[in-house]
Homo-oligomer: A and B are copies of this chain.
């Protein structure tokens, strides 16, 4: 029986998996915790280690890019085909803090393989999912007999994702020319479940603000003045209460302007997923599902924009009581945005709406932080179809579709580079991102290698540049 391309990839991976895993374990031993200053040298060491490994993999160009914070690693391997598309892989080499006493069963930076799982901080988030591309591209070359990838392959692996990527956008803007790509592949997400390979098609955006309402110049006595002057804590509560209508929709006029609605096909695809709401509520630590009328829970978290209170405060919050009308009160709101929403327009709409809500005698201050745009790749986008085929070949199963409710720095790549964002991830919910005993399933990790190996050829074949 002659070898198919898929079995050739598998054979190659089988031969090289031991070294691949040894290398990953070596990388995972570096505690590249970006949030903890004492690990600054480790984050640098992690970047250097990755750079060396990418050179060893064969990338002709590998650079460590300094930022005002932690360094990023950039690598580039041009195709020999002048019509090949250019693909930029995004991931990160920094990790969340971890300590044995947080509840780990083993040392978080002494990787341990047990029952087909590799336990270590960063195993899934995100070193494992970055690293599968190294064996992936080698398998791609070996199986196709190429000496360079079928696409122009670029990697940008940042070092501050776990610290909120404070310098990422500036870096991307500064290096935009080097980063130019036809598509961005984000390797920092996961799939629905061990037995349900999925491709994520979008990510919500994020706009955040803090609203401070000022009433009396100082706290005043609620006996002497109660009932006769405006109370800023009441005003802030009324603002929050007015934020949603009785159908759970955000009541700010203009908020939904431009929102790309779910298509019937997407809703049908979401509905196909084996979703257990009771199970989901356990994960959400919550006792009821609640949200915009007319949408399922998955639709609410993946495809609908929201307004949430992240914090509220004003007046006396200590033990016992204090009979005051507080001088001020504040609320922190965050808005998750979906495709079609422009954060600047949302900010404008929210500011306008708030100005109309604030009662006489109350002064209002509003601060918006920097926003993150949403991203969404249409189901029929050729690059998305390539990702789906690559996953399907790796898993030998039908691939389903998800979205991501959170927001990420990859949106900056979409924004600055003008390229669609695609997601290729093999992590599963049980992997325990940010939690003790983070792990990656070894068989899924190798499926990730396979999917990476298939993706480059598929993209080049189906999404060529016009000659």
Contacts and interface: CB of A to CB of B under 8 A. Distances in A.
A286 B334 contact: no
B241 A288 contact: no
Contact of A311 (B223, B225, B243, B316): B316
A327 B270 CA distance: 28
B311 A233 contact: yes
A237 interface: yes
Contacts of A243: 234
Most chain B C-beta atoms within 10 Å of own C-beta, residue among A224, A231, A289, A331: A231
B406 A310 contact: no
A398 to B, nearest CB: 25
Contact of A286 (B225, B238, B286, B324): B225
Nearest to A217: B285
A292 B361 contact: no
A458 interface: no
Contacts of A406: 221, 223-224
A236 interface: yes
A317 B210 CA distance: 10
Interface in A306-361: 306, 308-318, 320-327, 329-332, 334, 336, 359-361
Interface in A333-391: 334, 336, 359-363, 369
A458 B287 CA distance: 67
Contact of A309 (B206, B237, B291, B407): B237
Contact of A244 (B234, B314, B318, B404): B234
Interface string A221-255: 11111111111011011111111100000000000
Tallying the copies of this chain within the complex gives: 2
Contacts of A323: 206, 208, 310, 334
A290 B360 contact: yes
A368 B215 CA distance: 26
Nearest to A318: B311
Contacts of A286: 215-217, 220, 225, 229-230, 361
Interface in A166-206: 204, 206
Given A311-B233, A312-B233, A312-B329, A336 B289 contact: no
B315 A312 contact: yes
B229 A290 contact: yes
Q: Among A225, A290, A291, find the residue whose CB has the most chain B CB atoms closer than 10 A.
A: A225
B288 A311 contact: no
A223 B206 contact: yes
Contacts of A361: 286-290
A46 to B, nearest CB: 25
Interface residues of A, number: 82
A290 to B, nearest CB: 4
A61 interface: no
A7 interface: no
A227 B292 contact: yes
Nearest to A214: B287
A301 to B, nearest CB: 5
A138 interface: no
Contacts of A313: 312-314, 317
A405 interface: yes
B314 A314 contact: no
Nearest to A216: B285
A205 B297 CA distance: 47
Contacts of A306: 222, 226-227
A304 interface: yes
A405 B225 contact: yes
A322 B285 CA distance: 18
Given A228-B289, A241-B242, 8 more contacts: A227-B301, A233-B309, A237-B239, A237-B241, A238-B240, A290-B359, A311-B322, A312-B312
26 contacts: A208-B321, A216-B285, A220-B285, A222-B310, A223-B336, A224-B405, A226-B308, A227-B291, A227-B292, A228-B284, A228-B289, A228-B297, A230-B288, A231-B309, A237-B240, A285-B327, A288-B361, A289-B361, A308-B325, A309-B314, A310-B322, A311-B314, A312-B312, A312-B315, A313-B317, A317-B330
Top 10 nearest A-B pairs by Cβ distance?
A288-B361, A223-B406, A241-B241, A227-B306, A237-B240, A311-B315, A233-B309, A311-B316, A229-B286, A217-B285
